[in-house]
Amino acid sequence: MPPEAEIVSAIGRALTLQQRGQLGGARALLEGVLERAPDHPDALHFLGLVLHQQGEQGPAVERLERAVAVAPQNLDAWNNLGGVVAEADPARAEACFRRVLEAAPAAIATRANLALTLEKLGRLAEARGQVSEILRLTPDDPEALANLARLSRATGDHAASVAAGERLPTRSARARS
């Protein structure tokens, strides 16, 4: 098997292990890839996620930073870097999420991450604007509707809060679908 194919195969196996909760095995495979290819962006990215899941925030951030330095076009890595730093450094997370949205304005998960980060920063009107944009893209998103209702209430727009709440599917409707 050619070296790149071996690397891709090892990363695939590591992702399978990660999804099964076998983080130690996933970490070992990814570290093995990085011994052979120290700047492999996918291995760096996924190792960063595994380290984050293992509670090793510093090393996780280091790997994700290297991943985006090596492959700045990797929007998933930028989004994940933002997610990992969001609690400790919400301003930095905001910059990561905005970078993704510049390239992919319809990235719903990133826009939701940005809204949560703006809310943590106390910028509720901006957070509400991000949620409104999610609803423009996916009008019936129940999580976005609930967030819009909550943020509208928090910003004093009770009519918008009620309107968003009324658009939420009822429990009986969700149970039927």
87-103: pLDDT as tens digits: 999 999 999 999 999 99
Count of structural domains, the chain: 2
Confidence check: pLDDT of 14 > 50? yes
- Based on the fold, state whether residues 127 and 41 are members of the same structural domain: no
Confidence check: pLDDT of 176 > 50? no
Stated pTM of the model: 0.88
Question: What is residue 4's predicted lDDT score, i.e. its pLDDT?
Answer: 87
Whole-number average pLDDT of the chain? 94
Burial annotation 147-157 (CB, 10 A radius, 16+ → b, else e): bbbbbbeeeeb
* Half-sphere exposure for 24 (CA within 13 Å, toward CB): 0
CATH number at residue 161: 1.25.40.10
The mean pLDDT of 51-70, rounded to a whole number, is 97
Burial class (CB in 10 A: 0-12, 13-18, 19+), 104: middle
- Based on the fold, state whether residues 98 and 165 are members of the same structural domain: yes
CB 97 within 8 A of CB 117: yes
- Based on the fold, state whether residues 108 and 175 are members of the same structural domain: yes
- Based on the fold, state whether residues 86 and 135 are members of the same structural domain: yes
Range of the domain at 13: 1-71
- Based on the fold, state whether residues 65 and 108 are members of the same structural domain: no
The mean pLDDT of 149-159, rounded to a whole number, is 95
- Based on the fold, state whether residues 24 and 63 are members of the same structural domain: yes
Question: What is residue 94's predicted lDDT score, i.e. its pLDDT?
Answer: 98
The mean pLDDT of 64-78, rounded to a whole number, is 98
Neighbours of 83 (CB within 10 A): 20
- Based on the fold, state whether residues 55 and 90 are members of the same structural domain: no
Structure tokens at 46: 């996924």
10, 41, 71 — which closes off a domain?
71
- Based on the fold, state whether residues 107 and 86 are members of the same structural domain: yes
Burial class (CB in 10 A: 0-12, 13-18, 19+), 138: middle
Residue 57 host element (H or E) = helix 57-70
15, 40, 71 — which closes off a domain?
71
Name the nearest CA neighbour of 65 among 33, 36, 99, 35: 99
* Digit-coded pLDDT (tens) for 118-152: 999 999 999 999 999 999 999 999 999 999 999 99
- Based on the fold, state whether residues 48 and 116 are members of the same structural domain: no
- Based on the fold, state whether residues 30 and 95 are members of the same structural domain: no
53, 71, 89 — which closes off a domain?
71
Confidence check: pLDDT of 172 > 80? no
CA distance 48 to 141: 30
Maximum pairwise Cα distance, the chain = 62
